[in-house]
A = this chain, B = another copy of it.
Amino acid sequence: MSGEWLRTGEVAEAAGVNAQTLRYYHRRGLLEEPPRSNGGHRLYPPETVTLLRAIKMAQRLGFTLGEVTELVVAVGRRRGAGSGGLRKRAGAKLAEVERRIADLQLIRESLVQAVDAGCDDLAACAAVPRCPLPFSDPEAGGRMPGAPGVVAGQGLTGVSREPSG
């Protein structure tokens, strides 16, 4: 089940990822090391391109590379046995995505209230009790999510960026 062997740059281009990313995936144990030429250059079977596309798809669905590794390694071990566990994990991920959507909707509500109430000065609003923004410490019973996924990483402004280009 393979035609001709592909070199690192060819696989990378066909899958739409950076060649460095391939090496990074090897380091992470996400991709098996392929055979080498006599000179030490990697020679990939064409299926690697499909696998890379699947990995990128899984990332777009919200799986981390660690989770993708588990999925891929699980499939690799029981090759042909069928059950890769994707369905179960997709169900769990679905629940996470739904929680995340709910969190963002709470954030949305607060932003709408801030705009509607005409809050325009952060420090001043924090000091007056009639401001609708929930300034209370979330640990003291606030209802706002922590929202680190929004705040950290590339933040909201990164929405349109591709994971790998």
Contacts and interface: CB of A to CB of B under 8 A. Distances in A.
Interface of A: 16, 47, 50-51, 53-64, 68, 71-72, 75, 82-87, 90-91, 93-94, 96-101, 103-105, 107-108, 110-112, 114-115, 118-127, 133-135, 137-139, 144-163
Contacts of A126: 50-51, 53-54, 57
B115 A104 contact: no
A148 to B, nearest CB: 5
Given A53-B126, A149-B150, 5 more contacts: A60-B107, A60-B138, A84-B124, A86-B114, A152-B153
Contacts of A82: 120-121
